[in-house]
Structure formats: structure tokens, C-alpha cells
Chains A and B, each alone.
Chain A
């Protein structure tokens, strides 16, 4: 199993550009989520999904869109990048329900100029 994979690992964008951060898992996990990690802020939830076709907003959803057309994939879209979106982005997955371990991807470091 590859676990949770994220692409790209690094990305530099100009303000106003759009892009999609990819996240995929091969563990048949229902729960998938996107976080951003900023210095001094800890991990903050952007969007999450409890299954294919179901998504919901987290703590900091503005400027980001998600979709969940399959169990495996949970892409994060930046429609018009802003410097405030410079961060490290982590995708995670786990089985739905209370006691299940979360598996994290390796992260994507995004810089918006």
C-alpha cells in the first residue's frame, strides 16, 4: 500500500493563479481531510469528507474548494491564490468513526508570491 500520497511536494504560484493539490489514499478510508500548517498556528482544518460525495467545511475554508467523487481521491483547489495561502498543506485519511487512526500524507509546501 502506498498509504496517503500528495502531489506536488513543492509549488510556487503567483497571486491570482489557480491550482489543485492532489491527495490520494489506497486504504479504502471513508474520512479524508485537508489541513494547513503555519508557524505558531498548529494544524488547521480546511475541509473534510466522511465519504464519497460528502464534503464539509473546517475552520479555514475560505479560498479553497474540495470535491470527493471517489473514495480514493480528495483534491484541494485554490481558485485564485493569495499570499496568505502560503503554507504547508497536509492531507490525512482514516476510517470513519471515533477510534480510528489518522494517516497523514507527506505534505505540500506552497508559496504564493
Chain B
């Protein structure tokens, strides 16, 4: 079983829809990251979370430490949001490793 699971694997939606991508993890963590990978391949960091909620523009990320679950929401989705969204957790143990989910491929139709 993967230590970081994302759902759904693929998501197609119409422009303007509210999008939710989920991430569940099974290890102790010190932080959780949400990343965006564009079709060209570049990877950028969207959020780092340890608790609660963060908002940046139309993006909102939440985390529930007790339930080992995080969600990434996109409000008023736009075709330029089309990308792969990756959840990654930073191990809370001494080895300080980062473990990635397999990503959610989002396609927003105009």
C-alpha cells in the first residue's frame, strides 16, 4: 500500500466548477506539500501545511492531522488550472524524507 494516496487519479471538469483533490497518508509527518506540475513538466510548490487551512488566490488547502488527510480545492476553475497536482509528505522521522503521491491529473474544459 502506498504511503501517500491521492484521489481521484484523473478529473475532468467544466470551467467554473469547484474542484476537490484528496490526499491521505499513513505515516507520521512534519509537513505536507501540494505541488503543481504543468504539461511542460515544471514543478512548483503551491502550499506547505502542518495544520488548518491555507488560501492563495483561488486555491485552498486544508489538512486534518488526526485523520491524516488533506484536500486541495480550486474555486472558479479555469482551463489554465489544467495540470497534475501532487501531494507530498515530509517524514516526521530522523531521515527527513519526502514521499510523493502519484498525482491527480486535472483537465478543465472551456
Contacts and interface: CB of A to CB of B under 8 A. Distances in A.
A103 B45 contact: yes
A101 B48 CA distance: 7
A106 B42 contact: yes
A96 B95 CA distance: 12
Interface string B39-79: 00111110010100000000000000000000000000000
A106 B97 contact: no
Contacts of B41: 88, 106-107
A42 B30 CA distance: 21
Contacts, number: 57
Given A50-B96, A58-B97, A41 B102 contact: yes
Contacts of B48: 99-101
A90 B97 contact: no
B102 A40 contact: yes
A104 B95 contact: no
B27 interface: no
Interface residues of A, number: 27
Interface string A12-51: 0000000000000000000101010000111111001010
A63 B43 CA distance: 25
Contacts of A65: none
Contact of B31 (A42, A56, A99, A106): A99
B100 interface: yes
B90 A98 contact: yes
B83 interface: no
Contacts of B95: 56
Given A98-B50, A102-B98, 15 more contacts: A40-B102, A45-B97, A48-B96, A58-B97, A59-B99, A92-B43, A96-B96, A98-B30, A99-B50, A101-B33, A101-B45, A102-B88, A103-B45, A104-B44, A107-B42
A83 to B, nearest CB: 21
A106 B33 CA distance: 19
B4 to A, nearest CB: 8
Contacts of A42: 86, 100-103
